Amino acid sequence: MSLLAVRDLRVDFPAGTALRGLSFDLERGERLGVAGESGSGKTLAALALMGMLPEGARASGEILFDGHPVSSLSETGWTALRGRRIAMIFQEPMSALNPLQQIGRQITETILWHEAVTRAEAARRALALMTEVGMPDPEARLRMYPHALSGGQRQRALIAMALACNPDLLLADEPTTALDATRTVQVLDLLRKLAQTRGMALMLISHDLAAIERVSERVLVLYGGDLMEAGPAGAVLADPAHPYTQGLIAARPRPRPPGTPRRALPTIPGTVPGLANLPQGCRFYGRCAQAVPGCADARPALRQTGEGRVLRCVRALG
Amino acid sequence: MRVNGAIGGALVGLVALTAAVSVVWLPGSTGIDVAAKFAEPSPANLLGTDQLGRDVLSLLMQGAQASVLVALLSVGIGASLGTALGLLAAARGGWAEEGVMRLADLAFAFPALLFAIMLAAVFGPSLSNAVLAIAFIMVPIFARVARASANQIWAREYVQAAIAAGRSRLGITLDHILPNIAAVLVVQATIEFAIAILAEAALSYLGLGVQPPTPSWGRMLAEAQTLLYLAPQLAIWPGLCIVVAVLGFNLLGDGLRDWADPRLRGLRA
Amino acid sequence: MTLFLLRKLGTLAATLIAVSVIVFAVMNVLPGDPALVMLGLDSTPDAQAALREALGLNAPVHIRYLDWAGAVLQGDFGVSYSFDIPVGDLIAERLPMTLALAFMATLLTVTTALALGVFAAARHGRIADWGVMAISQLGIALPAFWLAILLVILFAVTLRLLPPGGFPGWEDPGAALTALILPTVSLTLVQAAILARVTRSSVLEVMRLDYARTARAKGLSRGAILRRHVLPNALIPIVTIIGLQIANLVTGTIVIENVFYLPGLGRLIFQSIANRDLPTVQALVLFFAAVVVVANFLVDLAYAAIDPRLRTG
């Protein structure tokens, strides 16, 4: 039985459909990447897994976590899962930490909330977590306030908080946007290592395919609230089938070999339309260079194209 | 929000109109006629008469004069002095700015009532002392608002360009700064009007403001308080007038602020 | 932290000195001749000269200020002209009443405002929220002394449940507290209305912030998120308003004591004005202004207690 099974997850807002029936499975210890631009619905999918969809969102479909349906849970039911079995880290480590509390207290809070342990035991575990996430001088940092930490240290502290109760699944939503290139690589490697050593499933949400390639075994590519392509990360990135995935890969910044002329970064033409203006057929219609008139009319079916690979496109051969 | 502003505007208009009309026309007699005291409401005296037989509605209308007059004078003095200080602070910067701001901090230690008490003890209670005391607390408020908004304008590119072109600070202040912060000042003044009306009522109630025989809402309340067991209704009307005037200026101020600063729309309560 | 405290103490001392200079200047320099003010224009020149001598008015102004300030520092506020006893004794005698009133009103204001504000924020956009906001908009426009009169009409004149005014003394604490119910409520409601609005918007703002979402992602219940993360952060603007309201509460007690004929410092000030008792008025104004200044100093310390970012430097 999979750790997580998402079946036809749909999220509607008054303005339109933000997630158009998403289905996927996640095994224990598996590292999954979810790729897409902002507005693709990737963050919304993660929030749905936390039971934290924004006000005004209507969700349907089914989410099975460890075999139990969780989509119909009450807020109280969710509190038993959040932070204990499913944890999440967000993009802005500065604003995600409470400025008035010491780091240590923010870590032990999760432990003390979910588990019947003494303060001393919780403090001991907090120190172990800080060491595990590679925090320099962890003992002193436990007593510091967020404003005294650097950006990379804050993100490590947030990861330590998320790991506090040994969750089965960690959702990481763009965890490196606020960091420079060196810190980004460090945090990504840390996330991969933590998932491997702990046997914890990891869902990395990112617009950055390089980050996903570095961390994930499998990748889902989302656009306009629809799953466009999925498969083993290496295979999909080496040989993208969907025009959107191809565009994403082409638009990816690459180190320029010395001596080669500076080139403009290729981009996918156009921008993601607002919810109300998404095409009714293929969501990518309108920005797709290979589109034919029929693409606008019906949503293409998801079809199997290879070992573990699926594709939602009528044009690409796959 | 827009509805609130319109209601506020209507209430303010009502108060201003009442004050203006009462100068030339009153619905009843405000002369003392003890035989007619405590009359029930009637077509001749819509709200009845008071302990001296005066028409309550007419007194209330005249009371609006005192409120509007004190508010106009005190906000006028406080706003011009405070704005001048704030503009000076923003234009000069350095020790001048520091000095003005420290003075503003200090002035907050003296609520209007304490200042009015000192003036009353030294010069005896009077309307002008009340105006001075209320104006005194307005000065630091306007100084702060003017300085903060002016500093934002000073940082703009076209102002920097004017400095580079060698224009004097006074010239820039008059040409660029003042017109740009006028909307903020008008909004502030509207809200301070409400505060001034409340302060005038309190000072007059305590005997430190408008002196007899000039009618004022605060003083009418003070007189009515001695007659609560005889004629409690006399203590209702003046209070309602104060609430209407204050509520009107508060709502109008909120409405103007939303109108002047669209970014704030809907953010505040 | 020590540096922070020393700097704040320095500001406090400087502000208190400046306040005393202003009070002294308004009361002694502005009128020209205080003796004339106290005795009236129809007094004889001999009597004026005698009073000038008694009040030490013949010395140069800066010497008079230093004498007065030095005496005040030693707890000597001078002698009341009308009561002919030390002003310090007068204050000590009337202080408990005013203190009790101010303390109870502050406590009631803060507790009701926080409760209502948080309640409205938790019910954001629903009828309860709308109701709290409408009532508080009205409350802000109410003069406290008129509210006091309305309460007297309702509870004393009509229902006859509570006394309309006066104070029976502290010998019977039950009766004393009963006499303070209406004054406390009148002082509280208006300030609480303002504070409740600030609390509501502050709580709503913090609830939208990222760390509130983090707390939710930790699995905390709504109540725990509110208590542990939202409220402490929301307190910062709330404390600012409380600081501003202390001035209102101080002057509020002066007004309310006069509405309810309570023998506190506020009544004393008005008796002294009527008696042209300048030394007493001067001492009381200084006392009230100092209370406002010290209260604002305590608010500054409260900021630092709440927010670790302010403790450095």
Task: Give chain C as a 3 state SS string.
Answer: CHHHHHHHHHHHHHHHHHHHHHHHHHHHHCCCCHHHHHHCCCCCHHHHHHHHHHHCCCCCHHHHHHHHHHHHHCCCCCECCCCCCEHHHHHHHHHHHHHHHHHHHHHHHHHHHHHHHHHHHHCCCCHHHHHHHHHHHHHHHCCHHHHHHHHHHHHHHHCCCCCCCCCCCCCCHHHHHHHHHHHHHHHHHHHHHHHHHHHHHHHHHHHCCHHHHHHHHCCCCHHHHHHHHHHHHHHHHHHHHHHHHHHHHHHHHHHHHHHCCCCCHHHHHHHHHHCCCHHHHHHHHHHHHHHHHHHHHHHHHHHHHHCHHHCCC
Chain B residues touching C296 at Cβ < 8 A:
108-109
Nearest chain C alpha carbon to B235: C149
d(C-alpha A49, C-alpha A60), whole Å? 12
Residue C89 contacts residue C268 (beta carbons within 8 Å): no
Residues within 8 A of A (CB atoms), C 190-209 only: 209
pLDDT per position as a tens digit, B80-111: 999 999 999 998 888 888 888 888 888 877 88
Chain A residues touching C221 at Cβ < 8 A:
75-76, 79
Average pLDDT over residues A83-108: 91
Residue B38 contacts residue B48 (beta carbons within 8 Å): yes
- Residue A283: which of A222, A231, A239 has the closest Cα? A222
Confidence (pLDDT) at A258: 64
- Residue B61: which of B26, B10, B13, B12 has the closest Cα? B26
Cβ separation of B108 and C197 shorter than 8 Å? no
Which ranges of chain B does DSSP label H, i.e. alpha helix? 2-24, 56-92, 94-107, 112-123, 127-154, 157-164, 169-172, 178-205, 217-225, 237-260
Q: Any chain C CB within 8 A of the CB of A11?
A: no
Q: Any chain C CB within 8 A of the CB of A82?
A: yes
Distance from CA of A80 to the nearest CA of C (A): 6
pLDDT per position as a tens digit, A8-27: 999 999 888 889 999 999 99
Instruction: Pick the residue of A55, A74, A79, A161 with the most C CBs within 10 A to test the interface with C by mutation.
Output: A79
Residues in chain C: 313
Three-point CA angle A190, A123, A110, nearest 5°: 70
pLDDT reading at A124 higher than 90: yes
Average pLDDT over residues B229-238: 84
Chain C residues touching A90 at Cβ < 8 A:
210, 213-214, 217
Chain A residues touching C206 at Cβ < 8 A:
none
Cβ separation of C143 and B239 shorter than 8 Å? yes
Q: How far is CA B173 from CA A59, A136, A252, B157, B169, in A?
A: 56, 53, 50, 14, 6
**Among B105, B118, B228, beta carbon nearest to C157:** B228
**Among A82, A92, A101, beta carbon nearest to C218:** A82
Nearest chain C alpha carbon to A49: C217
Confidence (pLDDT) at B269: 31
**Among B114, B198, B225, beta carbon nearest to C149:** B225
pTM of the model: 0.82
What is the sign, positive or negative, of the torsion defined by CA atoms of C247, C251, C257, C259? Answer: negative
For residue C135, count other CB atoms closer than 10 A to its CB: 15
**Among C142, C201, C289, beta carbon nearest to B268:** C201
Q: What is the full per-residue pLDDT of chain C (313 aa) written as tens digits?
A: 678 888 889 989 999 999 999 999 888 877 767 777 777 777 788 888 888 777 777 778 888 899 888 888 888 888 888 888 999 999 999 999 999 999 999 999 999 999 999 999 988 888 888 888 888 888 888 888 999 999 999 998 888 888 888 888 888 888 988 999 999 999 998 889 989 999 999 999 999 999 999 999 999 998 999 999 999 999 988 988 888 888 888 888 999 999 999 999 999 999 998 888 888 999 999 999 999 899 888 888 888 888 888 776 4
pLDDT band at A144 (very low <50, low <70, confident <90, very high): very high
Beta-carbon pairs below 8 A across chains B and C? 126
Cβ separation of C247 and B108 shorter than 8 Å? yes
d(C-alpha B198, C-alpha B205), whole Å? 10
pLDDT per position as a tens digit, B30-45: 777 777 777 777 777 7
Cβ separation of B121 and C273 shorter than 8 Å? yes
Secondary structure of A139-201 in HEC code, one letter for each residue:
HHHHCCCHHHCCHHHHHHHHHHHHHCCCCCEEEEECCCCCCCHHHHHHHHHHHHHHHHHHCCE
Q: Any chain B CB within 8 A of the CB of C275?
A: no
Confidence (pLDDT) at B76: 95
Q: How far is CA B225 from CA B217, B238, C5, C145, in A?
A: 12, 11, 48, 10
Residue A165 contacts residue C220 (beta carbons within 8 Å): no
Q: Any chain B CB within 8 A of the CB of C21?
A: no
Q: Any chain C CB within 8 A of the CB of B116?
A: no
Confidence (pLDDT) at C167: 87
pLDDT reading at A182 higher than 70: yes
- Tokens of residue C237, six digits: 């603007």
Cβ separation of A113 and C308 shorter than 8 Å? no
Residue B89 contacts residue B96 (beta carbons within 8 Å): yes
- Residue C76: which of C85, C94, C64, C88 has the closest Cα? C88
Residue A95 contacts residue C209 (beta carbons within 8 Å): yes
Three-point CA angle C89, C93, C94, nearest 5°: 120
For residue C236, count other CB atoms closer than 10 A to its CB: 17
pLDDT per position as a tens digit, B114-166: 888 998 888 888 888 899 999 988 999 999 999 989 998 888 888 888 888 88
3-class secondary-structure state, position A52:
coil
pLDDT per position as a tens digit, A217-241: 999 999 988 999 999 999 999 888 8
Confidence (pLDDT) at A278: 81
Cβ separation of C211 and A98 shorter than 8 Å? yes
Dihedral angle at the C-alpha atoms of C268, C270, C273, C279, nearest 10 degrees?
30
Cβ separation of C213 and A52 shorter than 8 Å? yes
Q: Any chain C CB within 8 A of the CB of B111?
A: yes
d(C-alpha A265, C-alpha A250), whole Å? 8
Q: Any chain A CB within 8 A of the CB of C129?
A: no
Cβ separation of C214 and A84 shorter than 8 Å? no
Q: Any chain B CB within 8 A of the CB of C26?
A: yes
Distance from CA of C289 to the nearest CA of B (A): 6
pLDDT band at B266 (very low <50, low <70, confident <90, very high): very low
Confidence (pLDDT) at C58: 77
pLDDT per position as a tens digit, C267-279: 999 999 888 888 8
Q: Any chain A CB within 8 A of the CB of C215?
A: yes
**Among C209, C216, C224, beta carbon nearest to A52:** C216
**DSSP, residue by residue, A82-122:** BTTTEEEE-S-HHHHS-TTS-HHHHHHHHHHHHS---HHHH
